[in-house]
Chain A
């Protein structure tokens, strides 16, 4: 029977929640990584190793690795730095992706580094240079501190040289030559602000892809939910029926190409679930309609937010859904979101939740 393992990145370290296939009873372990702020933690299905992207205000950015489900940890940032030319600095490692034989990290200022030796050493793969307007939006002198970066990397499951990357406030880019060149993939997206270049200037919060149909992608944008049926070639807005157009987290059903989950939040400064009532929203028809899932979630005075990487879905026949809040609660559902239980209550603020099935 496989173990179900949640990897929870928080402001004060990485935690693991472990259960079995039933996903009813959970054991919490942590904090790991010396309680460094963890922005994203993932499990390499090939090796079983956990990688955690960390950035300390004191000691800089690094990637932690555990080969044994959290029993032991090491960290390395060897090579994980810009050379300093032009004032470009690596201020944070934001996101991780594991592909066969390689670990990728997205960083601020925008760039992707890779490791081919299990995280022992790192080298710069790309800064996505040459994109429309990048001489302005990627100028280190123009950046608000700690904002512009690669916030997500989505590898293609069939083609090792193809992946997508999000640059915050700029948009989605695709490479088919392992980062040598990039193409903006933002056609059809909405932006409620002036843009200097037609292809960029979009605020993509979360990109997800259907495991059941790789041509279908969904994204939670700063302004609206969107769907693509041609692998991000163009986008169609599917916001209607949701309580707000704003949010961060999203997840795609592992077996049904039309089913997808989001957590709408109030925009502006609040960025909490609307009206203090917690809910996950589900579509089973690719965004034509939406349904509110609230069973077991707090429906009064629950002013909780969920960040970009803080919702996950497993791959069981009846998939389980999980989300972590910026105030430290983890909620789990073993029935596709119909009913929920709180499986951790007092963690530090949660940045990321990923789920892995481990034999």
Chain B
């Protein structure tokens, strides 16, 4: 199971969504699709049509910058980051 970490801005939008959870998925995109099944609309908050990650959403798999197609394994750590913007 990959270990997924989400930004603090997401749980307030989706009741019951934790900051950290385990997912059994082959890619980053699969992991986000699984989350969207449990918390409908979550995929839209992280991805734009294409689909592609939103410009200010960065994903890292084991500390390496990742995309939706990036593969996961059982011990992957996935960090979803709301990148610096705003003010």
Task: State whether A83 touches B49 (Cβ < 8 A).
Answer: yes
Q: How far is the CA of A142 from the CA of B48 in the complex (A)?
A: 20
Task: State whether A81 touches B56 (Cβ < 8 A).
Answer: no
Interface residues on A, range: 10 to 19
Q: Which of B13, B46, B57, B86 contacts A75 (CB 8 A)?
A: B13
Residues from chain A with a CB closer than 8 A to the CB of B44 are: 60, 62, 77-78, 81
* Closest beta carbon of chain B to A260's beta carbon, Å: 36
Q: Name which of A60, A82, A89 has the most chain B CB atoms within 10 A of its CB.
A: A60
List B residues at the A interface (Cβ < 8 Å): 7, 9-10, 12-13, 40-41, 44-46, 48-50, 54, 56-57, 82-83, 85-86
Residues from chain A with a CB closer than 8 A to the CB of B54 are: 58-60
Task: State whether B9 touches A81 (Cβ < 8 A).
Answer: no
* Closest beta carbon of chain A to B75's beta carbon, Å: 28
CB-CB under 8 A for A58 and B41, given A34-B9, A75-B13, A82-B49: no
Q: How far is the CA of A62 from the CA of B56 in the complex (A)?
A: 16
CB-CB under 8 A for A81 and B48, given A58-B7, A58-B57, A59-B54: yes
Q: How far is the CA of A84 from the CA of B52 in the complex (A)?
A: 11
Q: Which of A57, A75, A76, A81 contacts B49 (CB 8 A)?
A: A81
Q: How far is the CA of A83 from the CA of B51 in the complex (A)?
A: 10
* Closest beta carbon of chain B to A151's beta carbon, Å: 22
Q: How far is the CA of A89 from the CA of B56 in the complex (A)?
A: 15
Known: A58-B7, A89-B49. 8 other contacts (CB 8 A): A57-B56, A58-B57, A58-B85, A59-B13, A59-B54, A60-B44, A78-B40, A89-B48
Q: Which of A34, A58, A81 contacts B82 (CB 8 A)?
A: A58
Residues from chain B with a CB closer than 8 A to the CB of A77 are: 41, 44
Residues from chain B with a CB closer than 8 A to the CB of A89 are: 48-49
A and B contact pairs by CB, cutoff 8 A, 10 listed: A34-B12, A57-B56, A58-B57, A59-B9, A59-B10, A60-B45, A60-B54, A82-B49, A84-B48, A89-B48
Residues from chain A with a CB closer than 8 A to the CB of B13 are: 34, 59, 75
A79's nearest neighbour on chain B, judged by CB, is: B44
Task: State whether A84 touches B49 (Cβ < 8 A).
Answer: yes
Q: How far is the CA of A78 from the CA of B48 in the complex (A)?
A: 12
Task: State whether B48 touches A58 (Cβ < 8 A).
Answer: no
* Closest beta carbon of chain A to B69's beta carbon, Å: 17
Task: State whether B45 touches A59 (Cβ < 8 A).
Answer: yes
Q: How far is the CA of A285 from the CA of B57 in the complex (A)?
A: 53
Q: How far is the CA of A56 from the CA of B44 in the complex (A)?
A: 12
Residues from chain A with a CB closer than 8 A to the CB of B82 are: 58-59
Residues from chain A with a CB closer than 8 A to the CB of B10 are: 59
| Contacts of A44-75 to chain B: CB distance below 8 A | 56-60, 62, 75
Task: State whether A76 touches B41 (Cβ < 8 A).
Answer: yes
Residues from chain A with a CB closer than 8 A to the CB of B56 are: 57-58
Residues from chain A with a CB closer than 8 A to the CB of B46 are: 59
Q: How far is the CA of A57 from the CA of B85 in the complex (A)?
A: 7
Q: How far is the CA of A59 from the CA of B86 in the complex (A)?
A: 12
* Closest beta carbon of chain B to A121's beta carbon, Å: 10
Residues from chain B with a CB closer than 8 A to the CB of A60 are: 44-45, 48, 54
A59's nearest neighbour on chain B, judged by CB, is: B45
CB-CB under 8 A for A84 and B50, given A34-B9, A58-B7: yes
CB-CB under 8 A for A57 and B86, given A77-B41, A78-B41: yes
